[in-house]
Amino acid sequence: MAAVRPLETVAARLATVLRAVRLAVTEKGRSRSLPRVVAVSKTKSVDDILDAYRAGQRHFGENYVKELIEKAQDKRVGLLCLSRDEVCQCRHLQILSEATEIKWHFIGHLQSNKCNAIAGIKDLWIVETVDSAKLANALNSSCEKQERKERLKVLVQINTSQEESKSGCHPNDCVDLARHIIDHCNKLSFCGLMTIGQFDYDYSQGPNPDFQCLIRCHQTVSEKLNIPADEMEVSMGMSADFEHAIAAGSTNVRIGSSIFGPR
């Protein structure tokens, strides 16, 4: 007999994460609102997503364009799911019919040739990984082609750790990229900064330098472009370090395994 997969599993993990977020804010003594929790659902099933949604979660993050389109049930899903059976498509339809308030975050590396596909996703709330003017232009053009009614929110991704394996603009280029989006991309709305940073940082060595770098970039963009700091997002922190990220000033944490379990 197959093992029963209880609804409480994802809901209980989500509740634990939300308690940890509130505690981190309290310990920091922050007066701002609670950081947004983005449930990173890449490779996770529709059942997992619906479990979290039923428990009150609304913001979900995906790393791959095709997977996001499938889960968001874009009009082209039939073309993109040819290798999947009809049951798979029916489960994806359940997200569309039941999770009517879902807000999708794209948090993976985005290629210019995928912009048309992603811009067509109705419930796409934000793209967190714009790392060049070329990509911003392509995404802006795609939003025009798709006739999106509202400007698409975007974050500038910064490679704070300067690792070749990671995407993101150089910290020194973040002001110019943000300015380019504001001045030349009328279908995009610049909303702040994002970083992934070094994995497995040893906090016995002190505060995370990637978080410190992003906060400095945030302050610089605020000052140079005359944008109030509290109107700009700071997206940093994942399952292993979101409490540290909140302490450093994160407003948006991306949490996967702590909510959905290991992949």
The one-letter amino acid code at 106 reads F
SS3 173: helix
- Residue 192 pLDDT > 50: yes
Torsion-angle region of 197 (φ positive above 0: left; ψ -120 to 50: alpha; else: beta)? left
Q: Check residue 262 and give its pLDDT.
A: 86
Tell me the average pLDDT of the chain: 88
**Residue partners of 97: CB distance under 8 A and separation at least 6:** none
More confident residue, 236 or 73: 236
**Residue partners of 2: CB distance under 8 A and separation at least 6:** none
Q: Check residue 90 and give its pLDDT.
A: 54
Q: Check residue 82 and give its pLDDT.
A: 36
Query: Strand pairing partners for 104?
Result: 60, 124
When pLDDT is averaged across residues 180-209 and rounded to a whole number, the result is: 95
DSSP assignment of 219-233: HHHHHHHT--GGGSE
Nearest alpha carbon to residue 70 among 53, 85, 52, 92:
92
Range name among 46-50, 87-91, 231-235, 246-250 with the lowest pLDDT average: 87-91
More confident residue, 210 or 262: 210
The percentage of residues in the chain with a pLDDT greater than 70, rounded to a whole number, is 86
When pLDDT is averaged across residues 196-204 and rounded to a whole number, the result is: 89
Distance of alpha carbon 205 from alpha carbon 250, whole angstroms = 20
When pLDDT is averaged across residues 116-132 and rounded to a whole number, the result is: 96
The answer to whether the beta carbons of residues 181 and 130 sit under 8 Å apart is: yes
More confident residue, 12 or 197: 12
pLDDT in tens, 6-31: 445 899 999 999 999 999 998 876 65
Q: Check residue 152 and give its pLDDT.
A: 98
Distance of alpha carbon 95 from alpha carbon 43, whole angstroms = 15
Q: What is the DSSP letter of 213?
A: H
- Residue 83 pLDDT > 60: no
- Residue 37 pLDDT > 80: yes
pLDDT band at 41; cut points 50, 70, 90: very high
Q: Check residue 214 and give its pLDDT.
A: 98
Q: Can you list the positions of beta strands (E) in 63-142? A: 103-106, 124-130
When pLDDT is averaged across residues 119-139 and rounded to a whole number, the result is: 96
Q: Which pair of structure tokens corresponds to residue 136? A: 């911003």
**Residue partners of 206: CB distance under 8 A and separation at least 6:** none
More confident residue, 80 or 195: 195
pLDDT in tens, 136-190: 999 999 999 999 999 999 999 999 999 888 999 999 999 999 999 999 999 999 9
- Residue 95 pLDDT > 80: no
Number of continuous H segments (helices) and E segments (strands) in the chain: 11, 8
Query: CB 3: neighbour CB atoms within 10 A?
Result: 5
- Residue 215 pLDDT > 60: yes
Q: Which residue has the tokens 């110019």?
A: 176
